[in-house]
Amino acid sequence: MRYFLTVPPGLETLAKNEIERKLQAKVRIKPFGLAGHLLIDYSGKEENLLKLRGVYNVYRYLKCFKFERLDDLYEKVKKVEIGIGKTFRVTSRRSGTHDFTSIDVQRIAGKAIAEKYGRKVDLKNFETEIEVDIIDNKCWVGVKLNRENLSWRDY
């Protein structure tokens, strides 16, 4: 299974070393050229990912695809298989120059997912948080595994 992790920018190598040492996972630093991000292949228990000390957020990586317009994004997100609860929300970050905002991405992706699964969007009391990030003309979709940023936890 693939996972997308956010880490403190500049500390990617430290996080990579921790992951390789503790989980024996394959780690790619700065996927898509994004500082503070890791892409890993890991076949163990997901809860082990949430115990990593150098990680902010953990996402189950579902799909990556190219797109040209928001209409394309709608159709392609609708094809992604997502394990989803009764309620969900979509969050998004963008990198690159676009004629749309992150809010537009959230609205379009949320509409596609709601139509496909017949579920309701709930921005505060959601069961599933779906990440739909845009990097230039690429999009990756994932499910966030942690509710709060892991840097806020007590050790």
Residues 136, 94: Cα–Cα separation, whole Å:
8
Residue 154: predicted pLDDT: 67
Q: Say which DSSP state 73 is in.
A: H
Q: Which pLDDT score, from 0 to 100, does residue 10 have? A: 94
**pLDDT tier, 8 (very low <50, low <70, confident <90, very high otherwise):** very high
Gap between the Cα atoms of 138 and 109, Å rounded: 14
In SS3 terms, 14-33 reads as HHHHHHHHHHCCEEEECHHH
Which residue's entry shows tokens 């209409």? 71
pLDDT digits (tens, 9 = 90+) for 21-35: 999 999 999 998 889
Nearest to 91 by CA among 4, 2, 1: 4
Beta bridge partners of 28: 39
Q: Is the pLDDT of residue 19 over 80?
A: yes
For residues 88-121, one letter each, b for 16 or more C-beta atoms within 10 angstroms of the residue's C-beta and e for the rest, the string is: bbbbbebeeeeeeebebbbbbbbebbeeebebee
